[in-house]
Amino acid sequence: MTETEVPEDHPRYASLVTRHRIEAGVETGITSKQGLIAQGRGEAFDYLLGERTLPSADRAARAAAATLLAADRPVVSVNGNVAALAPAETVNLADAVDADLEVNLFNHTDERVRRIADHLREHGADEVKGLAGDGEIPGLEHARGVVDADGIEAADVVVVPLEDGDRAAALDAMGKTEIVIDLNPGSRSPQTADVPIIDNLIRAVPNIAAHARDLAGASPEELRAVVDAFDADEALGAAEAAIRGGSFATPDNS
């Protein structure tokens, strides 16, 4: 069964579609095999969240939008899972906040970077960074720290969805403001982030873009007020409480 063959009235429609997208990403060389494991781990946390965007996650998405709109050089980092799951939505977000897109991979190969960049262009991106590899994230060994000098290395705000904790810590050490999307509030990445969004990527990315469009006419002072009102610890705590109090009583968890 392919993504297009999944009946829309299936109670697990959204989950099955995302699984097919990750599977297709592996088959086309966009997503690493480890991405399959990461997807399954995230889905387990999403079950416990009730597969919904918590009010705290929505506030985080709004703070993320304000942070990006106020940034001088925002960059949205894209890995294989992001490219497979939400390519058009990620391009739309970058457009909404005037951010660069940059491919940045844990399991880095030049071929995967090219494939992901092409995939993003097929979904509307005009320019995709990550191919030059003329910059670095200090403290990360081998290709994990390779970035573009005029991209992530020069950015003041970086969206790092589904990234690894070491990279998040290294970006923090560089003084970057980080917006992290992750379903596990205990993971190192959201624990490090200035704006942790504990939500499913496929909900969070379009939600940030929607908030960005709502805030498009806001003054710098209004954007700052939105950011200042956000409490990262509260967002992490609310997500942890929801997960600890969650159950697997969602419809037909198959």
Binding-site residues for ATP, in ranges, read 19, 41, 182-184, 188-189, 200-201
Instruction: Describe the crossing of helices 232-244 and 34-48 by its angle, rounded to 10 degrees.
Output: 80
Annotated binding site: 19, 41, 182-184, 188-189, 200-201
- Exposed e or buried b per residue across 175-189, where buried means at least 16 C-beta atoms within 10 angstroms of its C-beta: ebbbbbbbbbbebbb
